[in-house]
Amino acid sequence: KGKRAFIAGVADDNGYGWAIAKSLAAAGAEILVGTWVPALNIFESSLRRGKFDGSRILPDGSMMEIAKVYPLDAVFDNPDEVPEDIKTNKRYAGSSKWTVQEVAESVKEDFGSIDILVHSLANGPEVTKPLLETSRNGYLAAISASSYSYVSLLKHFLPILNPGGSSISLTYIASERIIPGYGGGMSSAKAALESDTRVLAFEAGRKRKIRVNTISAGPLRSRAAKAIGFIDMMIDYSSANAPLQKELSAEEVGNAAAFLASPLASAITGTVLYVDNGLNAMGVGV
Ligand code: NAD
Protein backbone atom coordinates (compact mmCIF):
# COMPACT_ATOMS: atom_id res chain seq x y z
CA LYS A 1 0.00 0.00 0.00
CA GLY A 2 1.25 3.47 -0.88
CA LYS A 3 2.33 5.82 1.85
CA ARG A 4 0.86 9.22 2.64
CA ALA A 5 3.00 12.26 3.48
CA PHE A 6 2.17 15.62 5.00
CA ILE A 7 4.75 18.27 4.16
CA ALA A 8 4.56 21.53 6.11
CA GLY A 9 6.25 24.53 4.49
CA VAL A 10 5.52 24.47 0.76
CA ALA A 11 4.52 27.77 -0.84
CA ASP A 12 6.34 27.69 -4.19
CA ASP A 13 8.41 25.34 -6.34
CA ASN A 14 11.84 26.66 -5.29
CA GLY A 15 12.31 25.38 -1.75
CA TYR A 16 13.27 22.12 -0.08
CA GLY A 17 9.64 21.31 0.79
CA TRP A 18 8.64 21.16 -2.88
CA ALA A 19 11.66 19.01 -3.75
CA ILE A 20 10.89 16.62 -0.89
CA ALA A 21 7.28 16.38 -2.06
CA LYS A 22 8.52 15.47 -5.54
CA SER A 23 10.95 12.80 -4.36
CA LEU A 24 8.27 11.26 -2.13
CA ALA A 25 5.73 11.40 -4.98
CA ALA A 26 8.26 9.76 -7.31
CA ALA A 27 8.58 6.96 -4.75
CA GLY A 28 4.81 6.48 -4.84
CA ALA A 29 3.62 8.50 -1.85
CA GLU A 30 0.39 10.49 -1.74
CA ILE A 31 1.20 14.15 -1.08
CA LEU A 32 -0.55 16.57 1.28
CA VAL A 33 0.99 19.97 1.94
CA GLY A 34 0.65 22.65 4.61
CA THR A 35 1.06 26.19 3.26
CA TRP A 36 1.61 29.31 5.35
CA VAL A 37 -1.69 31.23 5.44
CA PRO A 38 -0.35 34.53 4.02
CA ALA A 39 1.16 32.63 1.06
CA LEU A 40 -1.85 30.37 0.44
CA ASN A 41 -3.76 32.36 -2.19
CA ILE A 42 -0.82 32.91 -4.48
CA PHE A 43 0.36 29.29 -4.12
CA GLU A 44 -3.06 27.84 -4.88
CA SER A 45 -3.75 30.16 -7.80
CA SER A 46 -0.30 29.50 -9.26
CA LEU A 47 -0.93 25.75 -8.96
CA ARG A 48 -4.34 26.12 -10.63
CA ARG A 49 -3.02 28.31 -13.43
CA GLY A 50 -0.32 25.77 -14.24
CA LYS A 51 2.61 27.97 -13.21
CA PHE A 52 4.30 25.00 -11.53
CA ASP A 53 3.47 22.41 -14.21
CA GLY A 54 7.05 22.33 -15.49
CA SER A 55 8.39 21.57 -12.04
CA ARG A 56 5.66 19.04 -11.30
CA ILE A 57 7.11 16.57 -13.82
CA LEU A 58 8.46 13.42 -12.15
CA PRO A 59 11.31 11.24 -13.47
CA ASP A 60 8.82 8.82 -15.08
CA GLY A 61 7.18 11.68 -17.00
CA SER A 62 4.02 11.81 -14.90
CA MET A 63 2.97 14.91 -12.94
CA MET A 64 3.14 15.19 -9.17
CA GLU A 65 -0.40 15.48 -7.79
CA ILE A 66 -1.02 17.29 -4.52
CA ALA A 67 -4.04 15.58 -2.97
CA LYS A 68 -4.82 18.57 -0.74
CA VAL A 69 -3.34 21.90 0.30
CA TYR A 70 -4.01 22.86 3.93
CA PRO A 71 -3.63 26.43 5.19
CA LEU A 72 -1.24 26.38 8.17
CA ASP A 73 0.35 28.79 10.56
CA ALA A 74 2.69 26.73 12.68
CA VAL A 75 3.22 29.41 15.33
CA PHE A 76 -0.31 28.80 16.64
CA ASP A 77 -1.29 25.50 18.27
CA ASN A 78 -5.05 26.06 18.61
CA PRO A 79 -7.67 28.78 18.07
CA ASP A 80 -7.48 29.98 21.71
CA GLU A 81 -3.92 31.16 21.08
CA VAL A 82 -4.67 33.30 18.04
CA PRO A 83 -4.61 37.01 18.88
CA GLU A 84 -7.41 39.28 17.69
CA ASP A 85 -5.27 41.20 15.17
CA ILE A 86 -4.40 37.96 13.35
CA LYS A 87 -7.97 36.65 13.46
CA THR A 88 -9.25 39.80 11.79
CA ASN A 89 -6.28 40.24 9.41
CA LYS A 90 -7.73 39.91 5.93
CA ARG A 91 -5.06 37.47 4.80
CA TYR A 92 -6.11 35.11 7.61
CA ALA A 93 -9.84 35.76 7.73
CA GLY A 94 -10.30 34.16 4.29
CA SER A 95 -9.06 30.76 5.58
CA SER A 96 -10.10 28.64 8.51
CA LYS A 97 -8.76 25.80 10.66
CA TRP A 98 -5.12 26.68 10.10
CA THR A 99 -3.72 26.19 13.62
CA VAL A 100 -1.56 23.09 14.10
CA GLN A 101 -4.19 21.21 16.10
CA GLU A 102 -6.94 21.98 13.58
CA VAL A 103 -4.81 20.97 10.59
CA ALA A 104 -4.03 17.61 12.24
CA GLU A 105 -7.76 17.16 12.92
CA SER A 106 -8.64 18.02 9.31
CA VAL A 107 -6.05 15.59 7.92
CA LYS A 108 -7.45 12.90 10.22
CA GLU A 109 -10.99 13.63 9.00
CA ASP A 110 -9.99 13.68 5.33
CA PHE A 111 -7.47 10.84 5.18
CA GLY A 112 -7.44 8.99 8.53
CA SER A 113 -3.69 8.69 8.94
CA ILE A 114 -0.29 9.52 7.48
CA ASP A 115 3.07 7.73 7.30
CA ILE A 116 5.50 10.59 6.76
CA LEU A 117 5.61 14.03 8.41
CA VAL A 118 7.96 16.67 6.99
CA HIS A 119 8.73 20.05 8.59
CA SER A 120 10.32 22.34 6.01
CA LEU A 121 9.67 25.75 7.47
CA ALA A 122 11.52 28.43 9.35
CA ASN A 123 11.07 32.09 10.08
CA GLY A 124 13.20 34.60 11.96
CA PRO A 125 11.99 38.20 11.72
CA GLU A 126 15.42 39.53 12.73
CA VAL A 127 17.52 37.01 10.76
CA THR A 128 19.59 39.80 9.19
CA LYS A 129 20.63 41.15 12.61
CA PRO A 130 23.66 39.80 14.49
CA LEU A 131 22.77 37.86 17.65
CA LEU A 132 24.13 40.70 19.81
CA GLU A 133 21.57 43.03 18.20
CA THR A 134 18.63 40.64 18.32
CA SER A 135 15.67 41.58 20.51
CA ARG A 136 14.05 39.16 22.94
CA ASN A 137 10.90 39.17 20.80
CA GLY A 138 12.86 38.50 17.62
CA TYR A 139 14.75 35.62 19.23
CA LEU A 140 11.61 34.06 20.69
CA ALA A 141 9.78 34.45 17.36
CA ALA A 142 12.60 32.59 15.58
CA ILE A 143 12.41 29.74 18.12
CA SER A 144 8.60 29.67 17.94
CA ALA A 145 8.38 29.50 14.15
CA SER A 146 11.48 27.38 13.50
CA SER A 147 11.81 25.02 16.50
CA TYR A 148 8.67 24.76 18.61
CA SER A 149 6.62 24.57 15.41
CA TYR A 150 8.21 21.14 14.91
CA VAL A 151 7.53 19.96 18.46
CA SER A 152 3.92 21.07 18.02
CA LEU A 153 3.49 19.45 14.58
CA LEU A 154 4.89 16.12 15.75
CA LYS A 155 2.84 16.24 18.95
CA HIS A 156 -0.41 16.84 17.08
CA PHE A 157 0.26 14.46 14.19
CA LEU A 158 1.71 11.65 16.33
CA PRO A 159 -1.70 10.04 17.03
CA ILE A 160 -2.36 9.76 13.26
CA LEU A 161 1.20 8.78 12.26
CA ASN A 162 1.16 5.07 11.49
CA PRO A 163 3.67 2.99 13.51
CA GLY A 164 6.83 2.51 11.46
CA GLY A 165 6.39 6.02 10.11
CA SER A 166 9.01 8.68 9.80
CA SER A 167 9.34 12.37 10.56
CA ILE A 168 11.92 14.73 9.04
CA SER A 169 12.91 18.36 9.49
CA LEU A 170 15.46 20.62 7.81
CA THR A 171 18.35 22.20 9.69
CA TYR A 172 21.47 24.22 8.93
CA ILE A 173 25.07 23.94 10.13
CA ALA A 174 24.90 27.45 11.67
CA SER A 175 23.56 25.54 14.72
CA GLU A 176 27.02 24.16 15.50
CA ARG A 177 29.56 26.33 13.62
CA ILE A 178 29.76 30.10 13.35
CA ILE A 179 28.04 31.33 10.19
CA PRO A 180 28.13 35.14 10.38
CA GLY A 181 24.96 36.54 8.79
CA TYR A 182 22.61 33.76 9.98
CA GLY A 183 21.33 35.91 12.81
CA GLY A 184 18.22 36.84 14.72
CA GLY A 185 18.43 33.71 16.86
CA MET A 186 18.08 31.44 13.81
CA SER A 187 21.35 29.69 14.70
CA SER A 188 19.92 29.11 18.19
CA ALA A 189 16.64 27.87 16.69
CA LYS A 190 18.47 25.27 14.57
CA ALA A 191 20.49 24.12 17.61
CA ALA A 192 17.20 23.59 19.47
CA LEU A 193 15.72 21.74 16.47
CA GLU A 194 18.69 19.35 16.36
CA SER A 195 18.60 18.68 20.09
CA ASP A 196 14.84 18.17 19.94
CA THR A 197 15.37 15.68 17.10
CA ARG A 198 17.17 13.39 19.55
CA VAL A 199 14.68 13.77 22.40
CA LEU A 200 11.67 13.44 20.06
CA ALA A 201 13.24 10.36 18.45
CA PHE A 202 13.24 8.75 21.89
CA GLU A 203 9.73 9.82 22.83
CA ALA A 204 8.05 9.15 19.46
CA GLY A 205 10.04 5.93 19.03
CA ARG A 206 8.94 4.53 22.37
CA LYS A 207 5.39 5.82 22.06
CA ARG A 208 4.55 4.95 18.45
CA LYS A 209 7.63 3.43 16.74
CA ILE A 210 8.10 6.64 14.76
CA ARG A 211 11.59 7.63 13.55
CA VAL A 212 12.69 11.25 13.86
CA ASN A 213 15.61 12.67 11.86
CA THR A 214 16.79 16.01 10.56
CA ILE A 215 18.64 16.86 7.36
CA SER A 216 21.39 19.47 7.63
CA ALA A 217 21.15 20.87 4.13
CA GLY A 218 23.65 22.95 2.20
CA PRO A 219 22.73 26.33 0.72
CA LEU A 220 19.81 26.61 -1.75
CA ARG A 221 18.47 29.78 -3.40
CA SER A 222 14.95 29.44 -1.91
CA ARG A 223 12.61 32.29 -1.13
CA ALA A 224 13.48 32.07 2.58
CA ALA A 225 17.22 31.98 1.89
CA LYS A 226 17.08 35.00 -0.41
CA ALA A 227 15.50 36.96 2.44
CA ILE A 228 18.61 36.35 4.58
CA GLY A 229 20.70 38.14 1.98
CA PHE A 230 23.92 36.09 1.80
CA ILE A 231 22.79 33.01 -0.12
CA ASP A 232 24.82 33.61 -3.29
CA MET A 233 27.96 34.01 -1.20
CA MET A 234 27.22 30.77 0.67
CA ILE A 235 26.65 28.87 -2.58
CA ASP A 236 29.94 30.20 -4.00
CA TYR A 237 31.74 29.37 -0.75
CA SER A 238 30.45 25.81 -0.86
CA SER A 239 31.37 25.31 -4.51
CA ALA A 240 34.87 26.59 -3.78
CA ASN A 241 35.48 24.68 -0.54
CA ALA A 242 33.35 21.51 -0.31
CA PRO A 243 34.75 18.07 -1.16
CA LEU A 244 32.17 17.90 -3.99
CA GLN A 245 32.58 21.07 -6.04
CA LYS A 246 29.09 21.35 -7.52
CA GLU A 247 26.01 23.36 -6.74
CA LEU A 248 23.63 21.47 -4.45
CA SER A 249 20.23 20.79 -6.01
CA ALA A 250 17.01 20.70 -4.01
CA GLU A 251 16.38 17.28 -5.55
CA GLU A 252 19.44 15.85 -3.76
CA VAL A 253 17.91 16.87 -0.43
CA GLY A 254 14.51 15.54 -1.57
CA ASN A 255 16.07 12.17 -2.39
CA ALA A 256 17.78 11.97 1.01
CA ALA A 257 14.42 12.70 2.65
CA ALA A 258 12.80 9.92 0.60
CA PHE A 259 15.53 7.55 1.79
CA LEU A 260 15.04 8.55 5.44
CA ALA A 261 11.28 8.08 5.07
CA SER A 262 11.69 4.63 3.50
CA PRO A 263 12.20 1.18 5.08
CA LEU A 264 15.82 1.38 3.83
CA ALA A 265 16.39 3.68 6.84
CA SER A 266 14.45 1.53 9.32
CA ALA A 267 17.21 1.65 11.98
CA ILE A 268 18.04 5.33 11.57
CA THR A 269 16.53 7.70 14.12
CA GLY A 270 17.67 10.68 16.18
CA THR A 271 20.28 11.66 13.60
CA VAL A 272 21.44 14.78 11.80
CA LEU A 273 22.13 13.75 8.19
CA TYR A 274 24.34 16.15 6.23
CA VAL A 275 23.29 16.68 2.63
CA ASP A 276 25.73 19.44 1.76
CA ASN A 277 28.33 18.10 -0.70
CA GLY A 278 30.46 17.30 2.38
CA LEU A 279 31.13 20.91 3.35
CA ASN A 280 30.51 20.10 7.05
CA ALA A 281 33.57 17.88 7.13
CA MET A 282 36.03 20.63 6.14
CA GLY A 283 38.14 22.29 8.81
CA VAL A 284 39.42 25.16 6.68
CA GLY A 285 38.54 26.70 3.35
CA VAL A 286 40.94 25.81 0.54
P1 NAD B 1 11.19 28.09 1.61
O2 NAD B 1 10.91 29.55 1.54
O3 NAD B 1 10.86 27.26 0.42
O4 NAD B 1 10.43 27.40 2.84
C5 NAD B 1 10.12 28.03 4.05
C6 NAD B 1 8.62 27.94 4.18
O7 NAD B 1 8.22 28.24 5.52
C8 NAD B 1 7.87 28.92 3.28
O9 NAD B 1 6.99 28.20 2.44
C10 NAD B 1 7.09 29.78 4.27
O11 NAD B 1 5.84 30.17 3.75
C12 NAD B 1 6.95 28.82 5.44
N13 NAD B 1 6.61 29.43 6.73
C14 NAD B 1 7.21 30.47 7.35
N15 NAD B 1 6.61 30.72 8.53
C16 NAD B 1 5.61 29.79 8.66
C17 NAD B 1 4.63 29.53 9.66
N18 NAD B 1 4.54 30.27 10.77
N19 NAD B 1 3.76 28.52 9.46
C20 NAD B 1 3.82 27.76 8.34
N21 NAD B 1 4.72 27.96 7.36
C22 NAD B 1 5.62 28.97 7.52
O23 NAD B 1 12.72 27.98 2.02
P24 NAD B 1 13.68 26.75 2.31
O25 NAD B 1 15.03 27.36 2.34
O26 NAD B 1 13.43 25.61 1.41
O27 NAD B 1 13.32 26.35 3.80
C28 NAD B 1 12.86 25.07 4.20
C29 NAD B 1 13.68 24.57 5.37
O30 NAD B 1 15.01 24.31 4.93
C31 NAD B 1 13.81 25.56 6.52
O32 NAD B 1 13.75 24.87 7.76
C33 NAD B 1 15.20 26.13 6.32
O34 NAD B 1 15.75 26.65 7.50
C35 NAD B 1 15.90 24.87 5.86
N36 NAD B 1 17.23 25.09 5.24
C37 NAD B 1 17.37 25.90 4.15
C38 NAD B 1 18.62 26.09 3.59
C39 NAD B 1 18.81 26.98 2.37
O40 NAD B 1 19.94 27.35 2.04
N41 NAD B 1 17.74 27.33 1.67
C42 NAD B 1 19.75 25.45 4.13
C43 NAD B 1 19.58 24.60 5.23
C44 NAD B 1 18.31 24.44 5.78
Percent of the chain with pLDDT over 90: 98
Please state, in angstroms and rounded to a whole number, the distance separating the CA atoms of residues 29 and 93. Answer: 32
CA atoms within 13 A on the CB side of 135: 6
Which residue among the candidates 70, 148, 182, 274 is catalytic per the annotation?
182
In the chain, % of residues over pLDDT 70: 100
Contact 215, 198 (CB under 8 A): no
ipTM above 0.95, yes or no: yes
For residue 285, what pLDDT band results from cuts at 50, 70 and 90? confident
CA distance 281 to 140: 30
pLDDT digits (tens, 9 = 90+) for 123-150: 999 999 999 999 999 999 999 999 999 9
Min mean pLDDT across 31-40, 83-92, 156-165 is at 83-92
> Which atom of ligand 1 has the smallest separation from the CA of 74?
19
CA-closest residue to ligand 1 atom 8: 9
CA of 122 to the centre of ligand 1 (A): 5
pLDDT at 1: 67
Cα separation, 183 vs 69, in Å, equals 31
**How far apart are alpha carbons 18 and 40 in whole angstroms?**
14
The reported pLDDT for the residue numbered 286 is 86
Q: What number does the ligand 1 atom closest to the CA of 10 have? A: 9
Contacts of 36 (CB under 8 A, 6+ apart): 9, 11, 72, 73, 74, 121
State how far Cα 197 lies from the chain centre: 13
pLDDT tens-digit map of 21-79:
999 999 999 999 999 999 999 999 999 999 999 999 999 999 999 999 999 999 999 99
Distance from C-alpha of 69 to C-alpha of 98, rounded to nearest angstrom:
11
Q: Which residues pair with 114 in a beta bridge?
A: 161
Which residues' Cβ are closer than 6 Å to ligand 1? Answer: 9-11, 14-17, 36, 39, 72-75, 120-123, 145, 170-172, 217, 219-220, 222-225
Give me ligand 1 centre to Cα 223, in Å: 8
Catalytic residue among 16, 148, 150, 172: 172
Examine the residue annotation and report whether 148 is marked as an active-site residue of this protein.
no
Closest ligand 1 atom to Cα of 38: 11
